Amino acid sequence: MNFQPHEDSSNFPMLREIKEETSVNLACKILHFCETAKDEWIIFSWDGTNTPSNVICSKLEEEINCPLPLQLEPLPLSREVLCTLPVAGSILRIMFDKVVVKNHLHLLNVDKWVKFMNIHLKVVDGLWLGVFSPQSRLRYTPNEDSLIVERQRLSDEQLFPKPLFITEEVNQDHATPVTLMTVLTHSKVTAKFKCVVRVVAAMPYLAKNLLSSIGKYRMQLTLEDSTARVHAFVTGKDGETLFDGYPSIDELTRKLNRLLGVTGIKDAPRDPPWVSVCLKSYYVSKTDVWGSRNFKIFGIKIVGDT
């Protein structure tokens, strides 16, 4: 194989520099690969940097019948596989064109750095996806390659977006933020976390529907950071804290719109802001604690101009 260790770094953008609907060369580590359907394979690739966040084009009213996916593959990865993946840095899914699957599967090795040539990038449901086509190429690269050395150095610098002052902790403990991948792979079923996320979907999304028949808050939010998406529930007193009691429908709508990045322009794409949240993990079945693990938001309130 031709390693070519001194290639121009400008020809190999990092994941933090990628743009939609372009074809690029990438220097990444293969973390995992699997068959998601017959003759459909996905590579999980990583270079230690965070992909840019995307606008959300789906309509909030579609969330009930066509919810935003938590991942691009049909089924989530097992916890066993998840726990082998890095907790910082975005993981880019690269899908094999069916035409090239059989010719390249035997070349794939997990935990090896590679150079992908001519990978087409697109955004699906707000998530980045690479496509390995018949025009794409793959070659393995030594760890001493200057491109790889730079990416390994950057992977040690865990950076979080600066959250806007939209949410505030009620009981500030100055905890260090962690990524959603850290939350998903935490060694304990029940734990508390502080994260910097975007709220990309809500169900229900109308303020008038946030209360149950007995007048208690109950809703599901879809949270996203550069590493993962998760569902988090807001119920009961945690909802009272988040929305500062039971404000009017108009005020509740303004608070929700700020979280979701709703601009007021009909059918306009949304760009939800980065906000700080506190998450608590819990289980609902003692016989399957990991399989029934859920998350809920607690101890934060929406502040600032509404």
Beta-bridged to residue 2, according to DSSP, are none
For residue 34, the model assigns a pLDDT of 86
Number of domains present in the structure of the chain: 2
Same domain for 127 and 258: no
Among 36-45, 59-68, 159-168, 283-292, the range with the most confident prediction by mean pLDDT is 283-292
- Domain range enclosing 102: 9-51+90-155
Same domain for 144 and 228: no
> Among residues 155, 177, 206, which one ends one of the domains?
155
pLDDT digits (tens, 9 = 90+) for 160-171: 889 999 999 998
For residue 6, the model assigns a pLDDT of 53
The 3-state DSSP class for residue 29 equals strand
For residue 150, the model assigns a pLDDT of 87
Distance in angstroms (rounded) separating the CA atoms of residues 35 and 42: 6
Burial class (CB in 10 A: 0-12, 13-18, 19+), 244: middle
pLDDT confidence bin for 3, thresholds 50/70/90: very low
Same domain for 129 and 253: no
CATH number at residue 43: 2.40.50.140
For residue 2, the model assigns a pLDDT of 41
For residue 100, the model assigns a pLDDT of 63
pLDDT confidence bin for 96, thresholds 50/70/90: confident
* Overall average pLDDT of the 23-49 stretch: 90
Q: What pTM, to 2 d.p., does this model score?
A: 0.92
Query: How far, CA to CA in Å, does 73 sit from each of 70, 97, 190?
Result: 9, 15, 26
pLDDT confidence bin for 37, thresholds 50/70/90: confident
Same domain for 204 and 113: no
User: What is the identity of the amino acid at 187?
Assistant: S
Residue 96, φ and ψ in degrees, nearest 5: -85, 130
Buried b (16+ CB within 10 A) or exposed e, 113-138: bbbbbebbbebebbbbbbbbeeebeb
Q: For residue 71, what are its two tokens?
A: 């991942």
Lowest mean pLDDT among 29-38, 91-100, 199-208: 91-100
Return mean pLDDT, the chain: 90
Same domain for 276 and 216: yes
Distance in angstroms (rounded) separating the CA atoms of residues 80 and 184: 11
For residue 102, the model assigns a pLDDT of 59
pLDDT confidence bin for 9, thresholds 50/70/90: low
Q: Name the percent of the chain lying above pLDDT 90.
A: 68
The larger pLDDT score, comparing residue 102 to residue 242, is at 242
Same domain for 187 and 129: no
Same domain for 188 and 244: yes
Distance in angstroms (rounded) separating the CA atoms of residues 69 and 123: 13
Query: How far, CA to CA in Å, does 58 sit from each of 26, 30, 126, 244, 302?
Result: 29, 30, 9, 28, 24
CA nearest 197: which of 275, 265, 101? 275
For the chain, how far is it from start to end, CA to CA, in angstroms? 59
* Overall average pLDDT of the 276-295 stretch: 96
For residue 106, the model assigns a pLDDT of 65
Burial class (CB in 10 A: 0-12, 13-18, 19+), 100: middle
pLDDT confidence bin for 120, thresholds 50/70/90: very high
Burial class (CB in 10 A: 0-12, 13-18, 19+), 229: buried
Same domain for 140 and 101: yes
For residue 41, the model assigns a pLDDT of 86
pLDDT of 306 over the 80 cut: no
